Amino acid sequence: MDLRESAFWGRLKANRWAYTFTILATLTVGILIGTVVSYGVKGKEGQKSEATPLTVPAPQQLSNVFSQISKQLEPSVVNINTESTIKNPHRRGSVRPDPREQAPGDEGDQGDGTPFQDFFDKFFGGQGGEAGNIRQRSLGSGVIVDAKGYIVTNRHVVEKADRIRVKLQDESPASPGHDAKLIGMDQETDLAVIKIEMDHPLPAAKLGNSDGMEVGDWVLAIGSPFGLQETVTAGIVSAKGRNIVPNRQFQSFIQTDAAINPGNSGGPLVNMAGEVIGINTAILTETSSYAGVGFAMPSNTVVQVYNQLIGPEHRVARGSIGIEFAAQPNPAIARIYGSGVTVSNVVAGSPAETAGLKVGDTITAVDGRDVKSGDELVADIAARKPGSKAKLTFFRNAKKQETSVTIADRSKLFASRLGEEQDNQNEEEPKPSKFGLSVRTITPDLADRLNIPAGKGVVVQDVKQGSFAEDVGLNRGDVVLEVNKQPVNSPDDFSKIEASLKSGQDAVFLVRPRGSRAQDGTIFLAGTLP
């Protein structure tokens, strides 16, 4: 045995299990090959085999319809970048660590705990620092629906944006994109229309009829998840008519398992005819990423909203008569009150009240057309112009009656519930302070939580970086009760005391720290004004 042979057996012994597997595999393959060969040579010499030879088909895949649709639609799908300035809800007045930052009872902690991440303003993330206002940059998608540069996307992609930029498919990744103008938005459907100015026609996508889609139909989602442009994912229609947000009459979605992630928002959901049958809007997840359940606003709704947003008023006007009813049909209610839409509440001063409708009335028809569910009634009334009239047929105590009602503007009738007035009224405008902070009135709810008498103290709303307030240790969320022994019961009190102080004077704040309660006591924070 020479040295090479000895070395081989040494290695084999050291790795006997690995070599055993290799040898067994080799023997197995050898046996199989031997079997094939032996069968191939058996039989009479020259006898023709009965087996049909196998052939390789032409290079056409069954799934090439996906690639065809992708090539057709991708030029119409755009990447949307937005920039906006937002107030940092986690703003801290001091750069040093502060254990009070995560204390319980913090007014700023308003997490909703909902699993429907990425809905409205949660579908994509921004970037910014911890101090002062945040310069937020966000990513989303959109689809060109008019060669003149009109693009449909989600409201949450572009709302509150200071600047909207659109990047087309054939543009360089380094291209800054095109500035877009906001045409209009609709809160109830989370849809928006933007427009870019171009010197040539753009490739517009064709919209399809979402009512024609069935559960199990193939669909493609196209967009820019995580900023990755021209991404295509495939899935099926998992369900139709999904209502995922309570009390949203016009948010009935197509559910799909096509992968949708942050950045897909506003992009199209496409059928196998290459038609847009939905705008991707939300996902159901506990991780902020794809979990197999996504939602798209049906194209039929998109068309209705788009046609109003491009109109002279650039807003969606929906009719309403001012009634409420059970969101889900209940057989027990129908057995007691009759089939139709039974009124559970009549809004004070509404057209329904003026027309004489009462709680317990069951509406069965509008202008002679039967309505069997609340959705049918809402769809009919919402499609009518405010100021127009309709004849309602209803039953009261099993007696058939009729009345005429004037349609009102839904957004005005339910303004407080839709949040359209709250956007302007809920937040007090912070008043500037020479201390380098702003304060606001304490809400009754916060006063109750902190066990502070109503009308006492003010809440620190913002602390300017590098200011006197930051130097003495004041933080957002702290409650200021006194300044230099003088009670502070309103922002005006605070401003008057602050205005009376001059450079070189001392300022002593009696403070209930952020998140603390009555039993935790108060502290003094003090310094000399620069």
| Residues taking part in catalysis | 156, 190, 265
Q: Which H helix or E strand runs over 157?
A: helix 155-158
Q: Which of 4-18 are b and which e, b meaning 16 or more Cβ less than 10 Å from the residue's Cβ?
A: eeeeeeeeeeeeeee
Torsion over CA: 327, 330, 332, 338 (sign):
positive
- Count Cβ atoms below 10 Å from residue 514 Cβ, excluding itself: 25
Side chain identity at residue 497, one-letter code: I
- Count Cβ atoms below 10 Å from residue 280 Cβ, excluding itself: 32
Query: Taking Cα atoms as reference points, which of 469, 123, 149, 114 lies closest to residue 279?
Result: 123
The C-alpha atoms of residue 276 and residue 236 are separated, in whole angstroms, by 14
Torsion over CA: 415, 418, 424, 429 (sign):
positive
The C-alpha atoms of residue 522 and residue 451 are separated, in whole angstroms, by 12
Length of the chain: 530
Query: Taking Cα atoms as reference points, which of 268, 266, 283, 253 lies closest to residue 219?
Result: 268
Contact call for residues 272 and 303 (beta carbons, < 8 A): no
Q: What are the phi and psi torsion angles at 373 (to 5°)? A: -145, 165
Contact call for residues 176 and 88 (beta carbons, < 8 A): no
CA 53 to each of CA 32, 47, 49, 172, 470: distance values in angstroms, whole numbers, following the listed order: 20, 15, 10, 50, 84
The C-alpha atoms of residue 123 and residue 86 are separated, in whole angstroms, by 16
- Count Cβ atoms below 10 Å from residue 530 Cβ, excluding itself: 8
Cα angle value 57/61/62 (rounded, 5°): 115
The C-alpha atoms of residue 121 and residue 282 are separated, in whole angstroms, by 10
Q: State how beta strands 150-154 and 133-146 pair.
A: antiparallel
The C-alpha atoms of residue 204 and residue 198 are separated, in whole angstroms, by 13
DSSP H helical ranges for 280-428 = 299-309, 331-337, 351-354, 374-382, 410-413, 415-418, 422-425
Contact call for residues 279 and 268 (beta carbons, < 8 A): yes
CA 460 to each of CA 246, 301, 512: distance values in angstroms, whole numbers, following the listed order: 33, 44, 11
Side chain identity at residue 470, one-letter code: E
